[in-house]
Structure 1
Amino acid sequence: MSNIEHTPDSHARPGRLGEFWFYFRENRGAVIGLWIFAVFAFLAFFGPWVAPHDATEQFRSATLQPPVWQEGGSWTHILGTDPLGRDMLSRLIVGARYSFFVGVVVVSIAATGGIIIGLIAGVSPKWLDSIIMRIMDIVLAFPSLLLALVLVAILGPSLTNAMIAIAIVLQPHYVRLTRASVLSERQKDYVTSARVAGSGVVRLMFVTVLPNCLAPIIVQAALSFSTAILDAAALGFLGMGAQPPTPEWGTMLAEAREFILRAWWVVTFPGIAILVTVLAINLMGDGLRDALDPKLKRS
Structure 2
Amino acid sequence: MSETTPSNDAAAVSKSPDRLREFWFYFRENRGAVFGLWIFGIFAVLALFGPLIAPYDATTQFRDAALQPPFWQEGGNWTYPLGTDPLGRDMLSRLIIGARFSFFVGVIVVTVAASGGILIGLIAGFAPKWVDSIIMRIMDIILAFPSLLLALVLVAILGPSLTNAMIAIAIVLQPHYVRLTRASVLSERQKDYVTSAKVAGAGIGRLMFVTILPNCLAPIIVQAALSFSTAILDAAALGFLGMGAQPPTPEWGTMLAEAREFILRAWWVVTFPGLAILITVLAINLMGDGLRDALDPKLKRS
* Pairing 1:91-110 to 2, within 5 Å after superposition: 91-110=94-113
Cα distance per residue 1:59-100 (max 9 Å; x no partner): 010000111000110100000000000000000001000000
2:260 to 249, 257, 261: 257
Provide the C-alpha distance between the structure 1 equivalents of 2:254 and 2:147, rounded to a whole number of angstroms. Answer: 19
Q: How does 1:149-164 map to 2 (within 5 A)?
A: 149-164=152-167
TM-score (norm 1): 0.95
CA RMSD, aligned part only? 0.8
Structure 1 position 25 matched with structure 2 position 28: yes
- Please give the per-residue CA displacement for 1:118-156, whole angstroms capped at 9, x wherever unaligned: 000001111100000000000000000000000000000
**Runs of 4+ off more than 4 Å:** none
1:279 to 276, 279, 282: 282
Gaps of 5+ in 2: 1-15
| In 1, Cα distance between equivalents of 2:148 and 2:279 | 21
Find the counterpart in structure 1 of residue 81 from structure 2: 78
Q: Supply the AA of the counterpart residue of 2:168.
A: A
SS in 1 for 2:232: helix
TM-score w.r.t. the length of structure 2 is 0.94
1:197 CA drift (Å): 1.0
- Which one-letter code corresponds to 1:239 in the other structure? G
1:221-269 deviation digits (Å, cap 9, x = unpaired): 0000000000000000000000000000000000000000010000000
- Superposed, 1:114-153 pairs within 5 Å as 114-153=117-156
Structure 2 match to 1:51? 54
User: Residue type matched to 2:123 in 1?
Assistant: I
Instruction: Please give the alpha-carbon distance, in whole angstroms, between the structure 1 residues aligned to 2:221 and 2:242.
Output: 31
How many residue pairs were aligned?
Answer: 287
Q: Distance in 1 between matches of 2:43 and 2:211?
A: 35
Residue 235 of structure 1: which of 220, 238, 248 is its match? 238
Q: Does 1:176 align with 2:179?
A: yes
Q: Distance in 1 between matches of 2:182 and 2:226?
A: 19
In structure 2, the CA distance between the partners of 1:49 and 1:137, relative to structure 1 (3 Å rule), is same
Query: What CA distance in whole angstroms lies between the structure 1 residues aligned with 2:239 and 2:259?
Result: 12
Aligned to 1:112: 115
Q: Residue 5 of structure 2 corresponds to which residue in structure 1?
A: none
Determine what percentage of the aligned residue pairs are the same residue.
87
CA distance in structure 2 between the aligned counterparts of 1:264 and 1:95, rounded to whole angstroms? 19
CA–CA separation in structure 2 for the residues paired with 1:141 and 1:76: 50
Q: Any idea what SS the aligned residue of 2:70 has?
A: coil
